[in-house]
Structure 1
Amino acid sequence: MKSAHDLVSDAKTRIEEVDLHAADAAIRTADVLIDVREADEYQAGHIPGAVNIPRGLLEFKLSNDPTLTRRDLNLVLYCKNSGRSALAACALQDMGYSHVLSIAGGYEAWHASGKPVQTAQLPAFD
């Protein structure tokens, strides 16, 4: 029986990960930067320009949103530390997406390196 760690390890052999140095360029050329974490994680802090499509909804969202169905889109994915994004990248490749990258180390590595982050802005209720 495989564990989650086994599945992530296997996925990482089948996908392309970019390190933090290459991530900036990958994001600049991406059609879509996707944060596959849950909504509360995204709201607590995310990479500027990222859209939030949680891992559990990813295949459905991309299949049903006409702006995301082109299989030649340049997609860059990330999660907390790159496990979920590796699994997500595998799933998207299985769906026929040909340009999928995952950011090694995920949001944790991005944030720890001092790169810019964005948080949700709540309205003032004065």
Structure 2
Amino acid sequence: MVADIEFEQPCPIRDVLDRIGDQWSLLVLEALDGRTLRFNELMRAVGDISKQMLSTTVRRLEQDGFIARVLYPEVPPRVEYSLTPLGSSFLLPLKTLISWADTNHRAVVEARKRYSTR
């Protein structure tokens, strides 16, 4: 039997969304959909992200169990990133969100313009 876990943040929605709702995490998860990438490949796939921010983002996603990091003992060292089963399971709701954003982006931008001209 699994022991009771004391949660830092007892609200599961806030706890998870605070971690993956940043500017980069969703883009990293989407970039890893169905493939394994090295750091620089991942950086190119995400685009417009600094090395430091990508490093921080993949570290947090690994800590939360969304991605796996494999270090190969080669010279120079090779590191590859891929989705874990947990990360893959998140792709379905993520793809729904991406589809919604693509469909409704124009309406959101128009609403912002209407708001700013009031």
Instruction: Give the TM-score band, short-chain normalised.
Output: 0.3 to 0.5
Larger radius of gyration: 2
Structure-2-length-normalised TM-score: 0.33
From the two aligned structures, give the one with the greater helix fraction. 2
Structure having greater relative contact order (Cα 8 Å, sep ≥ 6): 1
